[in-house]
Amino acid sequence: MIATAKARAKLIIEPILNGQWETAEKLKSRSGYATIGDIIERYLSQAHDRPATIRNNSGALRLLIRTVRGGDPDAQSAAVLTGDLIRQFEQIRITDAKTEPARRRARASIRSYVVQARSLVAPRKMRFYEDINLPNLDAFRNERVEIPKRSKPRALDTGVIAAINAAAPKLASTDPEVYAAFLMFSRLGLRNVEIRNARWHWIENGRIGIIERPEEIFIRKEAKGGSQSRLTCLKNS
């Protein structure tokens, strides 16, 4: 530790002796940056995200640093948070993927880890760190990673779709839950998470339908000026 401190001091003193004051000030500032552990500790105490989100975001930041620089991420200076860190992490992860499917999966995981790691120092979170010294993080926040290419899903054969539609009415009496799922998939175009969170009250009095209620009001993503739309009632007649 003493040898490291002496080497650091020498790096700062030499620019001063040569009249390079700006370089010396940058080196002095860099030596006083908070550690990654300081950032994570503050994030854990201040963030109001879900516990799983906090855990995943902190783990992603540690993973980036450990992958590129090795050692204990928490002990390292915040000075490592650069655009180069993102580039090296992407290169290392993609080099390990030997096949095209593996590369697609790697691209997806790279982007996910980078987004999670950056969330700790997103502009809206910087109020957590007002009293600790951090470097300029613009390059770390803005360095681009290649977006994974998604393969288009193969459409179902028309004969399969016809068979599904023909068999569906019988489900209304024999298996209402499956029939409700069929309606949501085929009529509403709900996302997977919306289907998982479907309300039991959508099945009432032995009939399958989407009951229009105030909480079902939503604003379309493409809507402007706050226009609203409702889920319309679907009844099995």
- Please answer whether residues 175 and 206 qualify as being in contact, where contact means their C-beta atoms are separated by less than 8 angstroms: no
Count of structural domains, the chain:
2
Do 191 and 226 reside in the same domain of the chain? yes
10 assigned to some structural domain: no
Task: Using a cut of 0.75, tell me whether the model's pTM lies above it.
Answer: no
Q: Given CA atoms 69, 74, 75, 78 in this order, what sign does their dihedral have? A: positive
Looking at 112, 142, 172, which one is the last position of a domain? 142
pLDDT by residue, tens only, the chain of 237 residues: 355 455 555 555 665 566 665 555 555 554 578 899 999 999 999 988 888 999 999 999 999 999 999 999 999 999 999 999 999 999 998 888 788 888 888 888 899 999 999 999 999 999 999 888 888 999 999 999 887 666 666 666 778 778 888 888 888 888 888 887 787 777 666 666 665 666 555 555 555 555 444 444 445 555 444 433 333 444 443
Q: Domain residues for 115?
A: 32-142
Looking at 142, 162, 177, which one is the last position of a domain? 142
Looking at 142, 177, 203, which one is the last position of a domain? 142
- Please answer whether residues 70 and 47 qualify as being in contact, where contact means their C-beta atoms are separated by less than 8 angstroms: no
Q: Is 35 helix (H, G, I), strand (E, B) or coil?
A: strand
